[in-house]
Chain A
Amino acid sequence: MKRARHLAEQLTVDELVRYGPLAHAEMLVGENLARPVSRVTLVSELDQVRRCGPGTAVVLAAGLAHGAWAVESALRLAWERSAACLVTPAVPGLTQATAQLGRRMRLPVFIVADDPAACALELAAAIASPDAARARLAARCAELFTERSGVRGIVGVINAEVPGVTVALLAPDGHVLAGHALTDRGAQQLVRVDVAGPDGRHWAELVASVAGRPSPTWAETVRLILRLARAPLAASVARERVDAVRDAERGRAALAAVLAAAGPCGQPGRVGEPGDPAASAAPGGAGQAGGVPESTLGWRLGGRHVAVFLRTDPALDGAAAAPGVVSAWQEVVPDLPLVPWEAGWASWWTGDDVEVGQVVPALRRALGRMRSPVPLSGGVGRAAPGPEGLRESLSQAVLAAGVTVREGHGAVRSFDELGYTVMLASLAEPRLVRSARVVLADLLSAPDGPVLVATLAALLDCANSTSQTALRLGVHRNTVLGRVERIRARGVDLDRPDQRLALHLACYALLPGLGLA
């Protein structure tokens, strides 16, 4: 039906506020702004309100401003007629009681300082041609895009400026790169636009969810705005990638220099500060790294540190994921550096009273919230002072991460918690693995060989206690007993003390390659 189509393309009250004639009105009641406005009526007598249709913007003429009672009467009548909003001239006595009434009726109320008749005319013009109003909105967004530098800033412009629209930038796998995750509420209308990366290939997708009733013209406006965002996004992504790679390299070099300098005679304090002896007197230009002083990286090297080390599944390409991991980290923990280091990423908490007990849960929370492109787990070192302490703590964190990486995404363990077993985790050395495969060939050849190896490792960890092992593995004790029977059937003797160490080592050497989660 023609009329229905027309209704669907109406401006909402919110749109009239954001970029329409109500932008300069005082909003007395800001409820229910998503109502579409079908028409405007300028009323000079209260009775005229009774004749308004649903969705009308009711504008009270200056002559009707008899007092708060008149505005409240009009408010009531407008509410009874399902009006979209009420616009009134400033009236003495129009205060909190009126606002309270408007809020209870969920009817937006605006106070205009100028002649309400002029406001009614502008409203009528805007409502008559929503396109003109929307073109102004698109132009404003385009202008704001150029002022924002980051991907998130550009997506944020759309979320902030376009009423009723929630937009997200999604990676091909559905991962949210920027913006608000879209909640799936069926009734929403979705507008999608492809975004190319700096290399011109498909990189991501901008998806906007449009609230309210479906409206083809409004969807077109949103699509136009999303298209306008593509070029700035591509440019920005290119810039961010280059920046990320460069930052990562700078960070790695700086950290290497710091840790090298901290070696035997590391000095506490903030490296690189003017007048700091460490900045100029440290051997080998330790205060400088690749020509970059740490101060410009914003690092604090004095005080107590607790280092953390993040690792991903060795089977995945960590290097390719690096920019994504770093940016995801910075989204969640913006004030701490994340530096590519060895096979993962290093960071550290600093503070006079920082404790491992705080860092472990903090890191766990951070990993839970990070939108990382690859699964991550983390190890946490001990607390220790100064750059030297940082070096030690980082080494411990790296070892601990060697354990957590087997436990899957989100796992966080501290060096202290793991104890000496961290050493076992670093045994995946090729020669050792080869020997282990030979030694445990019988066990591995079983149909559930990897499971049996893992069970054996756990059993040895738990000093042959089957109940503890069951707990550790999350299975019933009878299951463990069954496996132990099968392990024994494959010729493994668990009761020979002289064999235990070798057996334990062999299990650990094999574990990383078993492909068990």
Chain B
Amino acid sequence: MSGPARPGERRIAVEDVPALLAGAEFYSTSAAGEGIEFAGLWLEDLLAHTGPVRLVAAAELDPATPCAAVGAMGSTIAMAELPPSGEEAEVLARDLAGRVGGPLGAVMPLNAASVNALLPVAAAAVLGLPLIDCDGMGRVFPLIHQTTYELAGLPLCPLAVVSAGHDSVLLDTGSVRAERLARSMAQAAGGWLLCGLYPTRAGELGDAAIHGSMSRVLEVGRVLCGHAAEGARREPSAPTPGEGRGTAPHERLLRELVAATGASVLGGGRIVEIGPSVRQAGTVYPGNPLGLVVNDHDSGRLIRLEAHNELVLALADGALTAAVPDLLCLLDRGTMRMTGPERLSAGDQVDVLCVPAAPVWHGAAGLALGGPGAFGFPLRHPREGGR
């Protein structure tokens, strides 16, 4: 697409992909971010062919510009085994164009995290459209309708999906049913689907989107990549698996992550327990639950994390201190990379971060859709004011 960048124009190019990948891992709430490196290779090759993608704020666009969210649902491992051919976005755009009365003028991410931070970039590149710097989750949620778009009342459907085997479907139904039907199709059609959904106009995104999401992912990614590069250069004077003295490298990284994301550090220390948790009867969520306990090095508190695809809850000494929709993530002190329960074992040292969700998620409707209750945990979110 497009020739040289105009002054002030923001672009995502091949050289931004490593940062994008690292940021995507950070916002994927640990479990979902595993094994997405393939998507980086894939996107780099794709951008090398198409040229960079223009990143625009929703307000920069003509309010009448037709746009739709793009994102994948299903398993990232399945996608690693069967990467998109690149043509999927064209199928989605064609199917949706027939329904929104004209070709799409821009693409926005369904959620700027995990592979879904990269796939909309690829979609925009293939379609030659600008990418809107926003998203609908600010993290990973397991269900495609757990979005701020939904909270703002945008209809999810028509939902266009295309599978790994290039089966395509255009669904017209309510959000919850659309999620259910598409989910069972994902399982049957090879493990993942690329979705085009929430077709709308750029002017409608004002309150409906979390703005600046892509920029934030890139910024966090640059912090992480900077540390990785520095670590490689620095003849590692020992990744002081941090028992205090001086400023351990992980502490500096934490400080910068906190500055970039507004996160708080719930604690850090050794993992004392990790294992399967109780299967929630009757839950709609796929995947198997896990629990892990971190013994906070400084306070001696026990931080229990419950994971179900992603990290859902954090209890410090039994008191709920953080929960979905806020983002919980784990930094591995050994590797200085974001990590997840499936990569960890007892004895590893991690830091637990909590990134507050966008304010809209903390309203009553937001918590109902993406709070602990939505994940089958009969708990009030810490922000709801307990007593």
Contact = CB atoms under 8 A, between A and B. Distances in A.
Contact between chain A and chain B defined by CB under 8 Å: yes
Interface of A: 45-47, 50, 65-69, 72-77, 79, 91-93, 95-97, 100-101, 104-105
B275 A69 contact: no
B227 interface: no
A101 B272 contact: no
Given A69-B304, A101-B302, A93 B277 contact: yes
A462 to B, nearest CB: 64
Nearest to B280: A66
Most buried by B among A50, A92, A105: A92
Contacts of B380: 47
A69 B306 contact: yes
Interface in B303-329: 304, 306, 313, 315, 317-320
B377 interface: yes
A68 B302 contact: no
A47 B386 CA distance: 9
Given A46-B378, A67-B289, A73-B379, A95 B318 contact: no
A259 to B, nearest CB: 67
11 contacts: A66-B278, A67-B306, A68-B304, A69-B377, A73-B319, A95-B273, A96-B272, A96-B273, A97-B273, A97-B302, A101-B317
A76 B317 contact: yes
B164 interface: no
B387 interface: yes
Nearest to A67: B278
Interface of B: 272-273, 275-278, 280, 289, 291, 293, 300, 302, 304, 306, 313, 315, 317-320, 376-380, 386-387
Contacts of A68: 277, 291, 304
B317 to A, nearest CB: 6
Nearest to B377: A66
B305 to A, nearest CB: 9
Most buried by B among A65, A79, A96, A101: A101
A91 B272 contact: no
Contacts of A74: 318
A489 to B, nearest CB: 77
Given A73-B315, A95-B273, A100-B302, 7 more contacts: A50-B387, A69-B313, A76-B318, A93-B291, A97-B273, A97-B302, A105-B318
Nearest to B320: A73
A332 B372 CA distance: 64
A393 B206 CA distance: 107
Nearest to A74: B318
Given A73-B320, A79-B318, A101-B317, A92 B278 contact: yes
B278 A91 contact: yes
Contacts of A46: 378-379
A93 B380 CA distance: 22
A97 B306 CA distance: 14
B367 to A, nearest CB: 16
Contacts of A47: 380
Contacts of A75: 318
Contact of A97 (B272, B278, B379): B272
Contacts of A104: 300, 317
B280 A101 contact: no
Contacts of A77: 318
Nearest to A100: B302
Contacts of A101: 302, 317-318
Most buried by B among A68, A92, A96: A68
A85 to B, nearest CB: 15
A97 B376 CA distance: 23
Nearest to B318: A76
A216 to B, nearest CB: 37
Contacts of B320: 73
A72 B387 CA distance: 18
Contact of B378 (A45, A95, A105): A45
B288 to A, nearest CB: 12
Given A46-B379, A69-B304, A79-B318, A92 B277 contact: yes
A105 B387 CA distance: 20
B49 to A, nearest CB: 48
Contacts of A73: 315, 318-320, 379
A100 B304 CA distance: 12
> Which 7 A/B pairs are nearest by Cβ-Cβ distance?
A76-B318, A72-B318, A67-B278, A97-B293, A67-B277, A75-B318, A76-B319
B289 A72 contact: no
B342 to A, nearest CB: 16
A187 to B, nearest CB: 31
A100 B320 CA distance: 17
A97 B318 contact: no
Contacts of A93: 275-278, 291
A74 B320 CA distance: 11
Most buried by B among A69, A95, A101: A69
B276 A69 contact: no
A47 B319 CA distance: 13
A81 to B, nearest CB: 11
